[in-house]
Amino acid sequence: MTLLYANPLTHLSDLDDWIAEGPVDIAEGDDGLLLSGAGGIDDHWTIWCPDVFGDRVRITWEFSPRAEPGLAMLFFGASSVAGGGIFDEGLAERSGSYPQYHSSDIRTLHVSYFRRRWEDERAFHTCNLRKSPGFHLVAQGADPLPPVVDAREAFYRMSVVHDRGEVELSIDDLTLFRWRDDGSTGPRVGGGRLGFRQMAPLIACYRNLEVHSL
C-alpha cells in the first residue's frame, strides 16, 4: 500500500486547510485534537479533508471519546450526485444538519461508529453504514467502544477500507462488518472526499489520520 495522506492531528494548524460546515470548536489536547460543537445542543458539524481520494483506499485514525452523549461519523467517497466535487457551484448549502448530507445532492458512504446521541442508541450500541443520497442503511455491526467513563481517555484504532464496491469497518483490528454494494440502492459510490462529523454535545479527541491506497 502507498501512503496518500497523513495528518498527525496534534496542532490547530493541522486543520488549517480543512473545510468546516457547522459550528465546530477545535482545541489542542495533550494527545491530539479535541473536537466539539460550539456549545449548543444542536451544534452539529462536519469538517472535510482538502484532498480527494480514489475508491480503493484504507482510511485509519485514532479516536478517543471524552464527553457524551453524542455521535461520531466518517464520510468517505463523497462527491456530487452529478459527478463533480462536493464544493461545486450550484450545490445546496450545508451547515451541519444531517439531512443536507444524506438526502440532498451529494453521493457518499458514511459510517457512524460512536452512536450515543439518543436513548435508543445508548441502550443498544451499533455501528451503522449508510449510503446517500437516500439514507439507505446498508450494513450494521456491534459497537465495541465503551462509554467515556470506562474508556478513560484511551484511543481506539479505527479502520475503514473502501475497495470499489466493498466496505469493511474495523476497530482495534476487530472486524465489525463487511458489505458489498450490489447496486440495489443506486449507483455505486466511487472516489471523493472524506470528512469527520459529530453530533453535539460529544467531545472527542482525534489523532494520526492516514489514507493508504490498496
Parallel, antiparallel, or unpaired for β 136-142 and 126-132? antiparallel
Q: What are phi and psi of 16, to 5 degrees?
A: -60, -35
Predicted confidence (pLDDT) per residue in 48-104, tens digit: 999 999 999 999 999 999 999 999 999 999 999 999 999 999 999 999 999 999 999
Predicted confidence (pLDDT) per residue in 171-197, tens digit: 999 999 999 999 999 999 999 999 999
- What does the block give as the cell for 87? 464544493
The domains of the chain, with CATH numbers, are 2-213 (2.60.120.200)
Q: How far is CA 125 from the centre of its chain?
A: 17
Q: Which of 6, 99, 7 is nearest to 44 (CA)?
A: 99
pLDDT at 140: 98
Calpha distance 22→184 (Å, rounded): 32
Calpha distance 154→1 (Å, rounded): 27
Asked if residues 75 and 59 have their Cβ atoms less than 8 Å apart, the reply is: no
